[in-house]
């Protein structure tokens, strides 16, 4: 079982719709959860992080965490073509440092 699992996609949504990205993780000791966006050929850029169960909203983005189910998701409201990218879920591995383990990423395509 992979430590962090994501559906590779592609997830195709029309402009203006809500895009829902999902991620599950195996290490119950994980404390921090991150969503990164990566454009082709570029390094990841942080979108959001979440530590507590529940929802966390930042602009058009909402991260949801359910530690009991070991599940974290990212919702993108009013999706724009510029949101088209690969979204990486990352989970810290317990051990004192911010050792992030990444999922394989979900490719999102927002079409006009």
Partner 1 sequence: GAVVSQHPSWVICKSGTSVKIECRSLDFQATTMFWYRQFPKQSLMLMATSNEGSKATYEQGVEKDKFLINHASLTLSTLTVTSAHPEDSSFYICSAQGHDTGELFFGEGSRLTVL
Name the residues that contact partner 1, by CB under 8 A. 41-46, 88, 97-105
Q: How many CB atoms lie within 10 A of CB 4?
A: 23
Q: For 11-32, what is the HEC assignment?
A: EEEECCCCEEEEEEECCCCCCC
45 vs 58, beta carbon nearer partner 1: 45
43 vs 69, beta carbon nearer partner 1: 43
Separation of CA 85 from chain center = 12
64 vs 106, beta carbon nearer partner 1: 106
To partner 1, the closest distance from the beta carbon of 2 in angstroms equals 9
């Amino acid at each position: 079982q992979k430590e962090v699992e994501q559906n590779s996609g592609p997830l195709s949504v029309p402009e203006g719709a809500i895009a829902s990205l999902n991620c599950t993780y195996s290490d119950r000791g994980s404390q921090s959860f991150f969503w990164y966006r990566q454009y082709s050929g570029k390094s990841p850029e942080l979108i959001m992080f979440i530590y507590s169960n529940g929802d966390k909203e930042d602009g058009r983005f909402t991260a949801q965490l359910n530690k009991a189910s070991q599940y974290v998701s990212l919702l993108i409201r009013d999706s724009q073509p510029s949101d088209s990218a690969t979204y990486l879920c990352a989970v810290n591995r317990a051990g004192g440092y911010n050792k992030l383990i990444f999922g394989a990423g979900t490719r999102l395509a927002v079409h006009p």
